[in-house]
Amino acid sequence: MSDSILVAYATRYGSTREVAEAIAATLRERGLEVDIQPMRQVQAVASYRAVVIGAPLYIGSFLKDARRFLSRHSEALATRPVAVFALGPTHGGEQELKGARPQLDKELAKFPWLKPVAAEMFGGRYDPASLRFPDSLLATLPASPLHGLPTSDARDWTAIRAWASDLAAKL
Ligand SMILES: Cc1cc2nc3c(=O)[nH]c(=O)nc-3n(C[C@H](O)[C@H](O)[C@H](O)COP(=O)(O)O)c2cc1C
């Protein structure tokens, strides 16, 4: 096993990748050796001593890449420190973030063997102009919670870096 930490992320529009990059940079500043990769490119996690997993929530669930990653690497993930972060609410503040937390807990409950040393929810980014089908269609439906929402970036970089900095000691 190497001394490296793997930061593995899933993303559809890039905002989770940018958060993963900030977390990786903070861990490096704290003196840790870090590899960062999109989850779908990760071949094996057994060579890492700890793993940070990041994924956005889409319609109440982790992006599929993340669910696949957790299932495929369950054995290695169950036997080393794992931290999880999720991106979610793109509008509103602390209240909305708290309100979305049960979505993360519900996703984690699907993988009962996973005992994260830390699990955190961060605000996400929303840009209606960049949506691809079927998200673009969903956003136009009057009944959709996305309908009429303006562009927004709710990522709190100070909170993200503080979480990563605390993580350095836990991994
Ligand atoms: C179609 C769609 C569905 C979404 N569903 C949820 C959701 O159920 N819960 C939530 O908290 N955020 C939801 N979001 C917000 C995303 O999690 C947020 O935009 C995130 O930053 C996207 O990450 P990505 O850019 O890495 O793909 C949704 C966004 C879109 C576009």
Cα(56) to centroid(ligand 1), Å: 6
Q: Is the CB of 12 under 6 A from ligand 1?
A: yes
Q: What percent of the chain stands above pLDDT 70?
A: 100
Atom of ligand 1 nearest to the CA of 60: 8
Contact 154, 15 (CB under 8 A): no
Q: Does pLDDT of 8 surpass 80?
A: yes
Phi/psi for 118 (5° steps) reads -160, 145
Structure confidence at residue 92 as a pLDDT band (50, 70, 90) = confident
Q: Does pLDDT of 95 surpass 80?
A: yes
pTM beyond 0.95:
yes
Q: Is the CB of 10 under 6 A from ligand 1?
A: no
Nearest to 163 by CA among 85, 60, 82: 85
pLDDT for 111 equals 97
**For ligand 1, atom 22, which residue shows the shortest CA distance?**
56
Written in H, E and C, the secondary structure of 97-137 is: HHHHHHHHHHHHHCCCCCCCCEEEEECCEECHHHCCCCHHH
Q: Is the CB of 57 under 6 A from ligand 1?
A: yes
Q: Does pLDDT of 2 surpass 90?
A: no
Q: Is the CB of 103 under 6 A from ligand 1?
A: yes
**Mean pLDDT, the chain, integer:** 96
Atom of ligand 1 nearest to the CA of 61: 8
Between CA 57 and CA 131 the distance in angstroms is 15
Q: For a ligand 1 pocket test, name from 58, 91, 106, 157 the mutation site with the most ligand atoms within 8 angstroms of its C-beta.
A: 58
pLDDT tens column, 67-91: 999 999 999 999 999 999 999 999 9
